[in-house]
Amino acid sequence: MSEQDNEAFEMRSRALFHDSVEGLDMRIRSRLTQARSAALSAARGRRPWFLDWKLWTPAAGVTAAAILGVSLWIGTPVGHHSATMADALANFEDLDLVASTDEGSGDAMDMLQDDIEFYDFADKAANSGPAA
């Protein structure tokens, strides 16, 4: 097998192949054109990389989580916490005063009972006033 024979073989096989390509029927040609169009439509439909939501969604999620974490950390200061505790303690003291039965503060519940009796008396007096 000489080099010349090899070249002749290569040329013949190439010519046969190209003849077979030229002889492709219309059905195949048409389907290849359709395939090409579909591929090119896919290429045209590509979005710019910076508008790809797949790229930004994880980054946006991480950023949102970080902002929430930082706001929770900074937005609940120690002073705010202490003020809330002070308010709660003051309310507790008020309740304690009302319910208290110490000598100095009097009987708060009796005082409230007296007021109800007074308003009942005043109401009756007002209704029978002109006749008396």
Partner 1 sequence: MARFDTLNRAWMVWDNPAPAPEGAVLEYTRELEKFLAEIERRAFRMAQVALRDPDDALDVVQDAMLKLTRSYASRPSAEWRPLFYRILENGIRDLQRRRTVRKRVMTWLPGPAEDPDNEARDPLENVADSAPTIPERLMQAQAMQRLEASLRALPARQREAFMLRNFEGMDVAETASAMACSEGSVKTHYSRAVHALREQLGEVW
Residues that bind partner 1 (CB under 8 A): 1, 5-6, 9-10, 12-14, 16-21, 24, 28-29, 31-32, 35-36, 38-48, 50-51
Q: For residues 17 and 119, which CB has a smaller minimum distance to partner 1 in the complex?
A: 17
Taking the C-alpha atoms of residue 58 and residue 67, their distance in angstroms, rounded to an integer, is: 14
Residue found by looking up tokens 């939501």 in the block: 53
| Closest to 108 measured CA to CA, from 122, 94, 119, 120 | 94
Q: How far is the CB of 52 from partner 1 (least distance, A)?
A: 10
Q: Contact 57/65 with Cβ under 8 angstroms?
A: no
Q: For residues 52 and 120, which CB has a smaller minimum distance to partner 1 in the complex?
A: 52
Residue found by looking up tokens 């007296």 in the block: 114
Tokens of 91: 């309310």
Q: For residues 10 and 87, which CB has a smaller minimum distance to partner 1 in the complex?
A: 10
Q: How far is the CB of 81 from partner 1 (least distance, A)?
A: 46
Q: For residues 28 and 74, which CB has a smaller minimum distance to partner 1 in the complex?
A: 28
Q: Quickly count helices (H) and strands (E) in the chain.
A: 5, 0
Q: How far is the CB of 47 from partner 1 (least distance, A)?
A: 6
φ, ψ of residue 104 in degrees (nearest 5): -65, -30
Q: How far is the CB of 60 from partner 1 (least distance, A)?
A: 17
